[in-house]
Amino acid sequence: MSDNAESPTETQKDDPSIQHAATEHTGASDEKKKIDVLLKAVGDAPIMKTKKWSVERGRTVQSLAQFISRFLKLEASEQLFIYVNQSFAPSPDQEVGVLFECFGSDGKLVLHYCKSQAWG
Amino acid sequence: MADDKDVLRDVWFGRIPACFTLSPEETTEREAEPYYLLLPRVSYLTLVTDKVKKHFLRVMKAEDSTEMWFEYEGTPLKWHYPIGVLFDLHASNTALPWNVTVHFKNFPEHDLLHCTSNSVIEAHFMSCIKEADALKHKGQVINDMQKKDHKQLWMGLQNDKFDQFWAMNRKLMEYPTDEGGFRYIPFRMYQTMGERPFIQKLFRPVSPEGHTLTLGDLLKELFPAAICAEDEPKRFQVMIHGIEPLLETPIQWLSEHLSHPDNFLHISIIPAPSD
């Protein structure tokens, strides 16, 4: 998996706030504008070639789910469910920055995604 | 002196008198009378307003009945926030009843989540409880419960059954005897003029030195503007369930007694009224 900071190859009209995670982090302040997200597939969900992403804190779960759906080229009818801690599905309007603050570990937020409800 | 358990009942049975009026934008076949309803503070708008929908659909054409949504003075009301939070945040210092406007058209996609059935509310409610338990107990208590126990929590809320709900919820309010409280306190701090919907961070109920932390300690760390010196005029009200708890109240106690059924302590920070 490449660790360079190039933007993803697929066209995204509004996603400069989601980029491949870079290896260096600018500055040591804990209020970095972006947080690292690690995406893990569950069940029959396709595995993303790039799993680690740098996401702006203010990005919502819903917009991240839409990004993943587009990236995986899912059908419009296919739903995507996102889970934190393999236990709860955050509200679609929840900010990833808040989830990172509360449930991040080792400097990243691990999110599991699947096409059907995995953990109720 | 009120027993702590009485507080649980008072919280559960808190009500807000509301007056629902149909938006003038909606087309009706007859005039729509306003509908009055006592709303449970701890529930959700879409869970308790079936009668409101029936009332207004009676004067509208069948084909105009799409998803109902609510607005207060131009602000769409998020059904997935507890009713009491919405009221405290937007209307606590205005005269009762709470005047809510009902809409069926022009659903504000950017402001509101859709709520097509009660199972959507149930899923949201259970997710909040799981998230709260992840903070309190690393999710161990909720995970040890059976599916029927989870169902009991939801049914308790849906049917306004205090005893049924608390028979299960008390397990979520326990903590190891050698700890001073939960691992972290599940809370959300709302303000109307904030740049983000709410503040939610990790906060332990006991300091590393073993001191019981208070509401004041929480505010000092996350919203210091809400704490003012004795001689200063108060700029903000810190409201939970429509009251302003003393800042000396231990945050652990607040979490156990003033949380919503979703197990979160929802705190509204509103501008203090200027007399």
A87 and B143 in contact by Cβ < 8 A? yes
Distance from CA of B130 to the nearest CA of A (A): 6
**Residues from A in contact with B at Cβ < 8 Å:** 58, 84-85, 87-93, 95, 98, 101-103, 120
Q: What is the pLDDT of residue A16?
A: 62
Of B126, B128, B201, the CB nearest to A101: B201
Phi, psi of A102 (to 5 degrees): -90, -30
| Predicted structure pTM score | 0.91
User: CA-CA distance, A81 to B23, in Å (whole number)?
Assistant: 35
Closest CA to B28 of B98, B107, B104, B106: B104
- What is the ipTM metric for this complex? 0.92
Are residues B230 and B215 in contact, defined by beta-carbon separation less than 8 angstroms? no
Query: In 3-state terms, what secondary structure has residue B264?
Result: coil
User: CA-CA distance, A39 to A47, in Å (whole number)?
Assistant: 9
Q: What is the pLDDT of residue A12?
A: 42
Instruction: Indicate which of B77, B119, B200, B264 best probes the interface with A, i.e. most A CBs within 10 Å of its own CB.
Output: B200
B chain contacts of residue A84, beta-carbon cutoff 8 Å: 131, 134
User: CA-CA distance, A116 to A42, in Å (whole number)?
Assistant: 9
Those of residues 199-228 in B touching chain A at CB distance below 8 A are 200-202
Write the Ramachandran bin of B76: left for phi over 0, alpha for psi from -120 to 50, otherwise beta. Answer: beta
Q: What is the pLDDT of residue A27?
A: 43
Q: What is the pLDDT of residue B231?
A: 84
Is B265 part of the contact surface with chain A (CB cutoff 8 Å)?
no
- Structure-token pair, residue B14: 């808190």
Q: How confident is the model at residue A64 (pLDDT cuts 50, 70, 90)?
A: very high
Whether residue A2 is predicted with pLDDT greater than 70 in this model: the reply is no
Pairing of strands B69-72, A18-20: unpaired
Q: What is the pLDDT of residue B66?
A: 86
User: CA-CA distance, B14 to B158, in Å (whole number)?
Assistant: 15
Residue-wise pLDDT tens for chain B (275 aa)? 557 889 999 999 999 999 999 999 998 888 999 999 999 999 999 999 999 999 999 998 877 678 999 999 999 999 999 999 999 999 999 999 999 999 999 999 999 999 999 999 999 999 999 999 999 999 999 999 999 999 999 999 999 999 999 999 999 999 998 899 999 999 999 998 877 889 999 999 999 999 999 999 999 999 999 998 878 888 999 999 999 999 999 999 999 999 999 999 999 999 998 76
Q: What is the pLDDT of residue B3?
A: 75
Q: What is the pLDDT of residue A1?
A: 34
B130 and A88 in contact by Cβ < 8 A? yes
Distance from CA of A69 to the nearest CA of B (A): 19
- Residue whose tokens read 């000092």: B220
Are residues B125 and B157 in contact, defined by beta-carbon separation less than 8 angstroms? yes
Other Cβ atoms within 10 Å of B195 Cβ, number: 6
Q: What is the pLDDT of residue A110?
A: 97
For the ranges A22-26, A42-46, B10-14, which has the lowest average pLDDT?
A22-26
Is B127 part of the contact surface with chain A (CB cutoff 8 Å)?
yes
Q: What is the pLDDT of residue B94?
A: 93
| Helices B118-137 & B147-158 angle (0-180, nearest 10) | 120
Distance from CA of B202 to the nearest CA of A (A): 6
